[in-house]
Amino acid sequence: MCRRRGGIGAAGPGAAPAGRWEDRAGAVAEAGRTVVIMNVNPFAPTQGAAFHPDAVYRIDIDTDGNNRADIAYTFVFSPPRDGSETVTVHRAEGPGARQHDAAGSAVLSDVAVDFGHGSSTGVQSGSHRFYAGLRSDPFFADLDGIVNDFQWTGNDFGIDKNVRSALPLPR
C-alpha cells in the first residue's frame, strides 16, 4: 500500500496522483510514476524463509485495455544460501510480455533480498528502482471471534505474519 503525504490515496484508471507518494518504509515515488507491489507468502517468515528459487514471479501490465500483458516484470530468485538470496529483474514488452518464462532484458541483476524487516530501501539502476524482501503485513483477523459466532476476542491471527514483497518502480 502506498500513501500520499497527508493522507491515504489510490489512483484508478486515468487518475493522475499529485504530489509525492511513499510506501511504509519511506520509499518515495514522484508524481507521474507508478508504484507496483507484489506480495507473496502471507505467513513469512515462519512458513517460508525466502522466495522460491524455482518460481518465476511476475507482474503483468496491460496498457491498452485488451486484457493482455503489454509490459511484464519477472523476478527470478537464487536459491537461499547462508541466510541470503538474490533476485534478477527482467522487463519485457509486446509479445515477450506474454511469455511464461522470464523474458526481455535484465534491468537489475543479483540484487540482494532484504531479510531484515524493511531495513533496505532498495536499489536504483537507470530508470528502475527496486526492493525485494520481508515487509510487515497490516492485515488483522480475529479468527477466534469468527468461529465464536462473531463474538470478538481481540486476538490477532496475523500479528506475527508478514509478507515477501517485490516492488519495481519504473520511471
Based on the fold, state whether residues 29 and 104 are members of the same structural domain: no
Based on the fold, state whether residues 111 and 28 are members of the same structural domain: no
Give me the amino acid identity at 95. Answer: P
Per-residue pLDDT at 120 exceeds 80: no
In a domain, 40, yes or no: yes
Q: Count Cβ atoms within 10 A of the Cβ of residue 107 and give its class: 0-12 exposed, 13-18 middle, 19 or more buried.
A: middle
Q: Is 63 helix (H, G, I), strand (E, B) or coil?
A: coil
Q: Which three cell numbers stand for residue 107?
A: 534491468
- Residue range of the domain that includes 48: 36-133+159-170
Based on the fold, state whether residues 28 and 65 are members of the same structural domain: no
Of the two residues 59 and 30, the one the predictor is more confident about is 59
Q: Pick from 153, 129, 61, 135: which is nearest to 98 by CA?
A: 61
Q: pTM of the entire structure?
A: 0.66
Percent of the chain predicted with pLDDT > 70: 69
| pLDDT tens figures, 1-58 | 333 222 222 333 333 333 333 444 444 556 666 777 788 877 777 777 788 899 889 9
Based on the fold, state whether residues 83 and 11 are members of the same structural domain: no
Number of separate domains in the chain: 2
Q: What is the mean pLDDT of the chain?
A: 74
Based on the fold, state whether residues 8 and 54 are members of the same structural domain: no
